[in-house]
Structure 1
Amino acid sequence: MLGAPLLGDGTLLIAERFGVEVPTFQGEGPSTGQPALFIRCSRCNLTCTGCDTKQTWDWSQYQPAEVSTRETVAELARWALSSPVELVVVTGGEPLIQQQRLLPLVRELLAAGRRIEFETNGTIGPDPELLVDGVRFNVSPKLESFGADESRSIVPAALAAFAASGRAAFKFVATGPDDLGRIADLVEEHRLAPVWVMPEGTTAEAVIATTRAIADQVAARRWCLTTRLHTLAFENASGR
């Protein structure tokens, strides 16, 4: 849940940022394997039971003051630009909750030659000022199998905005072959493309097993298949 109201002082609520001090990669989707920096925004508008970043929203398990900090655009830009890495991934939680406050950061990073990817659950449409060269949205609608309430996690107007933008890739988490039919329904109903399917799993063994279970059917549908590189390479170590 959102928790306390978002800040009115121009700062951003950040759960963590990493990739400068200890280098890492983008682990999912179209840019898998590319060097990347990550800015993880705090707060989310969904409460998926399958979420692996509950520290951004689940205040029954975490204290907000202990797992999020206030950071200014200047602080975040200075940190990101201290690295030569071009790709900056803004994730969450749900980063588009704070998209108005993120606009100045996006402008500064783009002006410095960086590329930006937003990892979003696709429930909040993008601000028109974010629909510019150098910005891409990796839109991951959450399914019932992920522990989401689809009456909240599937927002047709937002999906339509992303699909029309020409700047989105649609990435679905599949727990197994049974999810692929539901994904196909959503893809057809909302005219989503390009489509990426990612195996669910928090261990290398689980990721490999799910990949093998879904690979043939994903290929048959002419969709893209992505792995979870962070899990395979770093065993979900914090800050990687």
Structure 2
Amino acid sequence: MFIDIDHFKLNEVIIIDARPRIFYTKSHIKDAVNIPISQIMDPLTGMPKPPEELSDVFTNAGIVENVPIVIYDDYPGVNAARLAWTLHYCGLKNVAIIRKFFRYISAHLPIENSNAPPQRGRVRCVQNPNVLADYDTVKNYKGLIVDLRSRREYIKGHIKGAVNIPWSDLINNEGFLNDYTWLPHDEEVIVYCGQGLYSAIGYVAYADLGIRVRLYAGGYQDWLKHEANQE
């Protein structure tokens, strides 16, 4: 799931800057394309955009199926994590995240501020149900559920049986942690947060361990809405 900067060559991968557009236009890794979170996620529900929209976004970004994809971000890494999950959701498997954040890798890789449009790629988003959890899945789930919100948010209310691992425990100022073997896990894990963004950090951490993991994209907001409708 994670990769170090000396383990790939820029001319052999599609490199994606997951930061907001304003930061990308100031400077980015040479030949990187920009896919901000606003293009792949519904800000109101936390759900991924429809498959046909995601296909267009990834095609316009120059992504070609079966070509390795390398993503980078800056602190706290949520954009890269959610983008990696979305690519998995669309059936693209050869995806890695640079472990260190942009502020550190920018000193070691060529940087530019050119914003030339990428060549058109070729992607058809085929939904992978094995990485997405919805309300019914979570409601009937008997395995480990991990709440990635802060301790304060967790104490105020959480899904019954969920354990709390704040997302901030999975990163540091430089990037994603080197070791996630301390994370509790079952054969499969469901992760969630308020609305499916910060829980993506948990998703990539578990994926890095080779654990089957699903992201509850609607998060606790979706859970509360469904629970209220059943009262």
TM-score by length of 2: 0.28
Higher relative contact order, structure no. (Cα contacts within 8 Å, ≥ 6 residues apart): 2
